[in-house]
Amino acid sequence: MFTSTAYILAVFVACIIFMILLISKAKVHPVISILLTSLILAIALGTPWADVMPTIEKGFAGTIDDIALVILLGCILGKVLEETGAAVSITKFAIKIFGKKRIIWGIVLSSAILGIPIFADSVVILLIPIVSTLAVEAGASMMAFGTALYLGALTTASLVPPTPGPVAAAALLGVPIGEAILWGLLVAIPGVFAATLYSKSMKTMVLPKEEYLEAAKKSDGFKLPSVGNSLAPIILPLVLIMLNTILNNIIPDTAVARFFSFAGSPTPALLTGCFYSLALTGMKWKTKVVVNDWVESAVRSAAMPILVTGMGGALAIFIKNAGVADKIAAGVVNMSLPGILVPIVIAALIHVITGSNSLGVMTAAALVQPMLVTIGISPLAAFLACASGALMFKQANSSGFWVTVSMSNMNVNQGLIGVGGASTVAGAVCSIFTIILHVSGLI
């Protein structure tokens, strides 16, 4: 009974539907939902009782062993950028570069940069007072500016580590962080560009909330860190990680390459960025607020993605052991469906149903990893496909949707057209670009 293809596939589909319903309808935390799903799948597939928990623990520990600190340090870095005004400094500089007529591109540029270490929802909360003021000065609609603000951050947060979603997906698929950053940035650019053009096309006038205009006036007198110091904690780790990847390909087994193998590995690189970010705090760097309270807040932010990633690894083991992946992959081959579409569709479905971009990226990566060989795609292609698919159609079950819509003074229908439409455009363009890279043999 436990080995027939029909039974295995039926159990797998039922368990995934059960998991999604737990998260989206019953509002059970994703960690518990994935744990329960793993247990049910293991029992239903006939896993010996004595092997169930050891397998879950092995899958959990094996998945988070090299990414837990990366996620934590990324959250610490993002917290410092939020609290010190560095995010605002970067935004004002980007807007100055593009000028009044092209303000929306400055908003998107700063948002996309900040989306690399900071959750997209937080970027909106941080910058909405500035963007509201800019909308008034430019005579533009918050439907356009608010959407652009969110989509810049959302796209890079989905595709570029060290944001927790792509870090976890890269770990689940075995993609080096350096490669994930380089290719994630490459794929994110056309998605951000397309979403901005879509945002610019929305002409329905939506005025900003008065409270954010007042908040922007109150913050005008605050002393902000310089642009160089604000950008350095973000750029420095990325440069170290990319140098590690490049040098170990060009001049392997040299002293320089060995040094960057350490300094440019994700944990030391992000730790360097975190230490550098202390310069943004001035004399506050040695106070309890900085070295304890901000870190504690970052630990809380990091806990969920770390635990979800670990549980995703546990679920992936049962999927792999039962042969579910091979059977699904064989079905894909029989239908002549291109393998590259599988992670895109899975990630999009999970995101649309649960409303969580991070969950869409991470869970799709866990589900797809065991079937990579059969569907004929590389781990890197799967990573980009999962991250692209998880951008599709932000709507009313997403916290990011509500943060953006409410703070931009849009109604639900305007939010669906703006945020929902722009996220779908970004996801579709990133997916098409990923497919082109895959078909051309580059990934």
| Residue 1 confidence (pLDDT) | 45
| Residue 208 DSSP code | P
Query: How far is the CA of 275 from the CAs of 96, 164, 302, in angstroms?
Result: 28, 20, 18
More confident residue, 73 or 317: 73
**Average pLDDT of the segment spanning 418-435:** 97
* pLDDT one-digit tens code per residue, 186-226: 999 999 999 999 999 998 999 998 888 876 666 566 688 89
Q: Find the domain containing 101 and state its range.
A: 5-439
| Residue 327 confidence (pLDDT) | 67
**Average pLDDT of the segment spanning 236-241:** 89
Q: How high is the mean pLDDT of the chain?
A: 87
- Most confident among 40-44, 188-192, 281-285 (mean pLDDT): 188-192
% of the chain surpassing 90 pLDDT: 39
Quickly state the pLDDT bin for 6 (edges 50, 70, 90). Answer: confident
- Most confident among 140-144, 174-178, 284-288 (mean pLDDT): 140-144
| Residue 275 confidence (pLDDT) | 93
pLDDT-wise least confident of 63-72, 135-144, 219-228, 320-329: 320-329
| Residue 144 confidence (pLDDT) | 96
* Burial grade of 267 (CB within 10 A; 0-12, 13-18, 19 or more): middle
| Residue 370 confidence (pLDDT) | 85
Number of domains, the chain: 1
**14 has pLDDT over 70:** yes
**Cis-peptide, bond into residue 162, ω within 30° of zero:** yes
**Average pLDDT of the segment spanning 112-124:** 88
- Cβ-contact 375, 381 below 8 angstroms: no
More confident residue, 4 or 228: 228
CB atoms within 10 A of CB 226: 13
| Residue 245 confidence (pLDDT) | 80
| Residue 219 confidence (pLDDT) | 59
| Residue 274 confidence (pLDDT) | 93
pTM over the 0.85 mark:
no
- Cβ-contact 183, 380 below 8 angstroms: yes
| Residue 207 confidence (pLDDT) | 93
174: left (phi over 0), alpha (psi -120 to 50) or beta: left
Closest by CA position to 305, among listed 19, 71, 114: 71
| Residue 324 confidence (pLDDT) | 67
**Average pLDDT of the segment spanning 44-48:** 88
At 303, list the tokens: 């806990």
